[in-house]
């Protein structure tokens, strides 16, 4: 009989051995070792106790907004039409980018549950705090209703850490909690809504009047750095920070372009503010009439992109990359108290613009034939109104880069995750890939 009550693991093994005989125990042990190994063997490098915490917006939200009074919800058909692994709430047809990433990291079961419905036993393995419509600034996304801004996502994480510390696995040992969190991946993807549902929504927000794109990016990055420091203080050490994608090229913005196939005329926008990228097709990259000095952005979608938006994003992404470099450097030189910040932490930057361009440039190889329209939506580019309840989506989701006016399809998410996890191109994932980050 198995010892009951206060039996230690060792005494259970002795009891088991007595019952089963030592040879059988050895087999059991070997089988257990194989289960442990199988999570890592495919990638060659061990990923110590895979666990992942996720912060972000609708690109990675997996149902945290389901019970909120919000327009930013995706718990209705046809959202999730290709998702059969749990409750609805993802802003795409199937898996999100982080769903693929947690799978690649070896989490079993592969998906990280949403904070809104998590059980205490879920806490050590990982939680998803992401919330559609959210941004770095607290007011971002208020035009859409309820959501958790980044600072509230971090507050929710703090509560979860406290709960986790009180479970039997940790018994209030904060050292043990911190050690555990230090081994986990912290994915943070923020900022898209600070542009889409704030800066470039002048009817609701006055930020564009108050800040130049450069000052606005600085404001966002300051708020971002503060929240990353909060996560660090709670024990996070392995960060994956995603840049903002080319939102000037998403179907929503393409649908709002002033002219269908012609660059904007300077009449409505000052010359120095506007620039238009001309994609020559077939992945030749873009030729830009940019007068802003920003890198010409290849039309990821095979048409014109809104370069006013893309150049604002480029400033933000450049600042974010610089921030990541600065935080990583703090490990090497410990001069000055400011340099002590985030000591021992590692940051990986995902260049979502670069990855998106690469996917568009190699669209055919990935099986994509439609790059500028949502699979589900209404109006120009299927981007004027986003995918409506019970609307019929396109038949072959695997041929579309975009699921709706804003969000990639599962097929595109799978590629973005594979790049983050295993790309050896530092233009896409810097300075190391997520697979390497997990292994350090
Ligand atoms: C966990 O324990 C701390 C004290 O160690 C306490 O302040 C906190 O309220 C506890 N949380 C729960 C959920 O019991
Ligand atoms: C807390 O956990 C750490 C690391 O696992 C361990 O070294 C330490 O002895 C524990 N403290 C107590 C009071 O159990
Ligand atoms: C690009 O977006 C900005 C901000 O929404 C807008 O003012 C501008 O008219 C757009 N450009 C074009 C060509 O439509
Ligand atoms: C990650 O990056 C390293 C270094 O560039 C590369 O060798 C490796 O193949 C990449 N992918 C994985 C899954 O480790
Ligand atoms: C990077 O990976 C690609 C395949 O994804 C491979 O062709 C290339 O040789 C690799 N480069 C380096 C430097 O490892």
According to DSSP, the residues that pair with 349 across neighbouring strands are 241, 430
Sign of CA dihedral 334, 336, 342, 346: negative
Ligand 2 pocket, residue 425 CB under 6 Å? no
- Per-residue pLDDT of 110-132, as tens digits, reads 999 999 999 989 999 999 999 99
- Per-residue pLDDT of 170-192, as tens digits, reads 999 999 999 999 999 999 999 99
Instruction: Determine whether 404 is an active site residue.
Output: yes
Which residues have C-beta within 8 Å of that of residue 128, sequence separation ≥ 6? 53, 54, 60, 61, 62, 64, 98, 112, 113, 114, 115
Q: Report the separation in Å between the CA atom of 311 and the middle of ligand 3, taken as the mean of its atom positions.
A: 12
Q: What is the pLDDT of residue 259?
A: 60
Q: What is the pLDDT of residue 300?
A: 46
- Per-residue pLDDT of 57-108, as tens digits, reads 999 999 999 999 999 999 999 999 999 999 999 999 999 999 999 999 999 9
Q: What is the pLDDT of residue 330?
A: 73
Q: What is the DSSP code (8-state) at residue 114?
A: B
Ligand 2 pocket, residue 176 CB under 6 Å? yes
User: Is it the case that residue 386 has pLDDT exceeding 70?
Assistant: yes
Q: How confident is the model at residue 292 (pLDDT cuts 50, 70, 90)?
A: very low
What percentage of residues in the chain have a pLDDT greater than 70? 76
| Total-model pTM | 0.82
Q: How confident is the model at residue 258 (pLDDT cuts 50, 70, 90)?
A: confident
Instruction: Determine whether 407 is an active site residue.
Output: yes
Q: What is the pLDDT of residue 43?
A: 42
Cβ atoms of 213 and 312 closer than 8 Å? yes
Which residues have C-beta within 8 Å of that of residue 129, sequence separation ≥ 6? 53, 54, 55, 64, 115, 148, 153, 154, 156, 157
Q: Ligand 2: which of 176, 182, 235 to mutate, judged by most atoms within 8 Å of the beta carbon?
A: 176
Q: Report the separation in Å between the CA atom of 429 and the middle of ligand 5, taken as the mean of its atom positions.
A: 14
Q: How confident is the model at residue 297 (pLDDT cuts 50, 70, 90)?
A: very low
Q: What is the pLDDT of residue 341?
A: 74
Closest CA to ligand 1's atom 8: 162
Kindly state the average pLDDT of the residues 285-289: 30
Q: What is the pLDDT of residue 332?
A: 57
User: Is it the case that residue 247 has pLDDT exceeding 50?
Assistant: yes
Q: How confident is the model at residue 336 (pLDDT cuts 50, 70, 90)?
A: very low
- Per-residue pLDDT of 25-47, as tens digits, reads 333 333 333 333 333 334 444 44
Q: What is the pLDDT of residue 144?
A: 96
Mean pLDDT, rounded, of the chain: 82
- Per-residue pLDDT of 41-68, as tens digits, reads 344 444 455 999 999 999 999 999 999 9
Closest ligand to Cα 362: 5
Strands 238-242 and 185-189: parallel
Closest ligand to Cα 266: 3
Closest CA to ligand 2's atom 12: 173
- Per-residue pLDDT of 353-382, as tens digits, reads 999 999 999 999 999 999 999 999 999 999
Q: Ligand 3: which of 198, 274, 294, 310 to mutate, judged by most atoms within 8 Å of the beta carbon?
A: 274
Q: What is the pLDDT of residue 274?
A: 26
319-334: b (≥16 Cβ within 10 Å) or e: bbbebbeebbebeeee
Cβ atoms of 111 and 86 closer than 8 Å? yes
Q: What is the pLDDT of residue 376?
A: 97
């Amino acid at each position: 009989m198995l010892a009951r009550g206060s039996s230690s693991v060792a005494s259970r093994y002795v009891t088991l051995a007595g019952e089963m005989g030592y040879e059988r125990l050895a087999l059991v042990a070997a089988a257990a070792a194989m289960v442990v190994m199988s999570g890592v063997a495919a990638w060659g490098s061990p990923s110590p106790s895979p666990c992942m915490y996720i912060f972000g917006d609708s690109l990675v939200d997996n149902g945290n907004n389901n019970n909120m009074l919000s327009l930013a919800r995706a718990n209705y058909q046809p959202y999730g039409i290709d998702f059969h692994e749990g409750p609805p709430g993802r802003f795409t047809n199937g898996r999100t980018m982080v769903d693929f990433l947690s799978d690649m990291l070896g989490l079993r079961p592969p998906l990280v549950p949403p904070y809104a419905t998590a059980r205490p036993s879920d806490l050590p393995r990982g939680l998803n705090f992401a919330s559609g419509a959210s941004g770095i600034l607290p007011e971002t996304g208020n035009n859409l209703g309820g959501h958790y801004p980044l600072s509230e996502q971090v507050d929710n994480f703090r509560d979860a850490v406290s709960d986790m510390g009180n479970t039997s696995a940790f018994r209030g040992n904060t050292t043990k909690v911190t050690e555990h969190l230090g081994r986990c991946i912290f994915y943070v993807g923020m900022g898209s809504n600070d542009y889409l549902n704030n800066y470039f929504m002048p009817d609701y927000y006055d930020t564009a009047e108050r800040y130049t794109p450069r000052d606005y990016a600085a404001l966002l990055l300051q708020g971002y750095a503060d929240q990353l420091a909060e996560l660090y203080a709670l024990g996070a050490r392995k960060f994956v920070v995603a840049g903002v994608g080319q939102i000037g090229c998403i179907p929503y913005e393409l649908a709002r372009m002033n002219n269908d196939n012609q660059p904007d005329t300077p009449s409505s926008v000052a010359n120095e503010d506007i620039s238009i990228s001309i994609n020559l097709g077939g992945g030749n990259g873009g030729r830009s009439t940019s007068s802003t000095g920003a890198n010409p952005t290849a039309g990821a979608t095979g048409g014109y992109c809104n370069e006013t938006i893309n150049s604002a994003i480029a400033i933000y992404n450049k600042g974010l990359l610089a921030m990541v470099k600065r935080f990583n450097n703090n490990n090497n030189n410990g001069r000055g108290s400011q340099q002590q910040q985030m000591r021992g932490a590692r940051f990986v930057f995902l260049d979502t613009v670069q990855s998106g361009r690469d996917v568009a440039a190699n669209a055919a190889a990935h099986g994509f034939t439609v790059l500028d329209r949502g699979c589900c939506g209404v109006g120009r580019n299927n981007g004027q109104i986003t995918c409506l309840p019970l609307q019929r989506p396109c038949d072959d989701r695997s041929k579309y880069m975009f699921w709706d006016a804003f969000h990639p399809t599962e097929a595109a998410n799978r590629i973005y995750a594979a790049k983050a996890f295993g790309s050896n191109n530092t233009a896409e994932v810097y300075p190391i890939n997520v697979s390497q980050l997990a292994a350090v």
